[in-house]
Amino acid sequence: GAVVSQHPSWVICKSGTSVKIECRSLDFQATTMFWYRQFPKQSLMLMATSNEGSKATYEQGVEKDKFLINHASLTLSTLTVTSAHPEDSSFYICSADGQGQETQYFGPGTRLLVL
Amino acid sequence: DAKTTQPPSMDCAEGRAANLPCNHSTISGNEYVYWYRQIHSQGPQYIIHGLKNNETNEMASLIITEDRKSSTLILPHATLRDTAVYYCIVKAAGNKLTFGGGTRVLVKP
């Protein structure tokens, strides 16, 4: 299957700071990337969908000004959690879909802890 | 996309086949059945998908009933590394993946 990477794998930050998470498709061009959030013992919840070169589409209840998504190239999407608070602590996972791919492939996830 | 129903958990013995059921009685003709799994603290891993024919790859086999209202994922020889949450998802091409509760599979020695 296709390979998707995320960086960093984990991050600890102070409340009020911003954190950027990168998602890269390593061996294919990702026309669409997705960002999910997963709280402990819960399933994945889709936050937003981004297409290369256009604005992201956010799911209901997800604050677009708090979770900034940029998909500037066919291999890179970034999620910035602005003014992070402890309740934003979660496991953030990206996935990518593209030409020639049968389905979405997921990154390994980024664990965020906001103190 | 159609909703799926999976048992919340199941145990299976190492070395034996693991059969994971999924009900999707409201599936539409253009919707595929996808299976992913998530090992603890990792991103989901794609396993297999199918439309109406049975499918097999190096990881698993997917058996879809003739009426397409249910399917079974078969792990032919379960290992301890197959312990994970398995998600059955039904969706049409181009639509989003929506994760339900999945089945928590514990492979025991």
- pLDDT tens across A50-97, in order? 988 888 999 999 999 999 999 889 999 999 999 999 999 999 999 998
Residues of A in contact with B34 (CB under 8 A): 103
Statement: residue A1 has pLDDT above 80? no
B39 CA to chain A: closest CA distance, Å? 10
How would you classify the pairing of strands A110-114 and A10-13? parallel
- For residue B5, CA distances in Å to A38, B2, B23, B39, B102 come to 20, 10, 5, 20, 8
Backbone phi, then psi, for B7, in 5-degree steps?
-65, 145
pLDDT value, residue B19: 98
B76 CA to chain A: closest CA distance, Å? 20
Mean pLDDT of A6-21: 97
A41 CA to chain B: closest CA distance, Å? 10
Laid out side by side, the sheet with B103-108 consists of B9-13, B103-108, B84-92, B31-38, B45-50
pLDDT value, residue A52: 84
**Residue A34 to residue B96, Cβ atoms within 8 A:** yes
Mean pLDDT of A4-16: 97
**Residue A95 to residue B43, Cβ atoms within 8 A:** yes
**Residue B41 to residue A111, Cβ atoms within 8 A:** yes
Statement: residue A15 has pLDDT above 80? yes
Give B60-72 pLDDT, tens digit per residue. Answer: 999 999 999 999 9
Give A18-41 pLDDT, tens digit per residue. Answer: 999 999 999 889 889 999 999 999
Mean pLDDT of A4-13: 97
For chain B, residues with pLDDT lower than 50 are none
Tokens of A69: 């998504």
| Separation between Cα atoms, residue A115 and residue A95, nearest integer Å | 27
